[in-house]
Amino acid sequence: MMMKNSFELIYDVVRRIPYGKVATYGQIAMLAGNPHWSRVVGYALHVNPDPEHIPCFRVVNRYGEPSSAFAFGGVNEQITLLQNEGVEFIDGRVDLSKYLWDGR
């Protein structure tokens, strides 16, 4: 059996983020098996091969802020996609106490 590479592990986790929820880069790194992968998560999402099925727009930073380098239409597109799922922004941030995925 072949081992999955880090990007595949990251994509597997991101696919599980439910509609209307967000996850942080650090949370994805932990769930993918390496808490030191926060930057790797960012790289992986930036080159996401299948944005239709790997909802990278649901990943925000630890403060609930969208990515300034969102690769699929810019930061405003990421905000729009999240708002379309009912995620609210206050002062440019997602309320993580309300919208953070529990990882299950």
Residues carrying an active site annotation: 56
Q: In this structure, what token pair is assigned to residue 60?
A: 């925000």
AA identity, residue 86: G
Distances (CA, A) of 76 to 64, 72, 79, 103: 14, 10, 5, 26
The amino acid occupying position 18 is P
